[in-house]
Amino acid sequence: MRFDIVTLFPDFFASPLASGVIGRAIARQIATVHCVNPRDFTEDKHKRVDDEPYGGGVGMVIKPEPMFAAVESLPSLPRRETILLTPQGQPMTQTLFRELGQGCDQIVLICGSYEGIDERVTELVTREISLGDFVLTGGEIPALALINGVTRLLPGTIGKRASHEEDSFENGLLDYPHYTRPPVFRGRAVPEVLLSGNHAAIAQWRYEQQLQRTRERRPDLLDSV
């Protein structure tokens, strides 16, 4: 999987993408990540990428010329999605991550900044995606979340497929509680069923816990189960 990030702040991604499971996946070429800076495609000596909005208003708007040039400079693989990270997009979900991971060879992520991006940039876009119903200073954090969520599902990133098949949201429910040693900690004991060795009983307990947690914390999810 190839990720191309169109961002004014490429240094933002250096440490997160070098760390942990995702860092190892990138080191093993399961995924590759490339950053392109629209400032490199400006033609004035100040490398200006923004301007005042037509019609007035606060803030600055990213100009279309450097954004178009940055995206058009990228190679194009056969199964490519070009995504604008924006609060107005469809929410990120586990289903979306799975769809992108299975259906794409290349994902281009356009990170907005300032007050917004010139609307004409959406002509380049095949999807608009949101991290949630809130506003951040730019699209870099949502881009990281999407790269993480998709890459961890790619074959070879996580050793055991079951590790993510049983994640929260994979079956429409929240995850069940997890326990490890010691069997008793500060008076709180591990549920006996988990120590029983009865795999059928453990599976049933876990499913019941998923239902209970979802009912208590995210009852909205039960409508789709």
The verdict on whether 152 is a catalytic residue reads yes
- The pairs formed by 17-24 with CB atoms below 8 angstroms and a separation of 24 or more are 17/144, 17/147, 21/152, 21/157, 21/158, 22/147, 22/148, 22/151, 22/152, 22/157, 24/157
Dihedral sign from CA coordinates of 24, 181, 172, 134: negative
The verdict on whether 183 is a catalytic residue reads no
Q: Which of 118, 167, 170, 175 is catalytic?
A: 167
Q: Which of 65, 81, 115, 128 is catalytic?
A: 115
Q: Which of 53, 87, 118, 127 is catalytic?
A: 87
Q: Which of 4, 66, 140, 152 is catalytic?
A: 152
The verdict on whether 167 is a catalytic residue reads yes
| Residues annotated as part of the active site | 87, 115, 152, 167
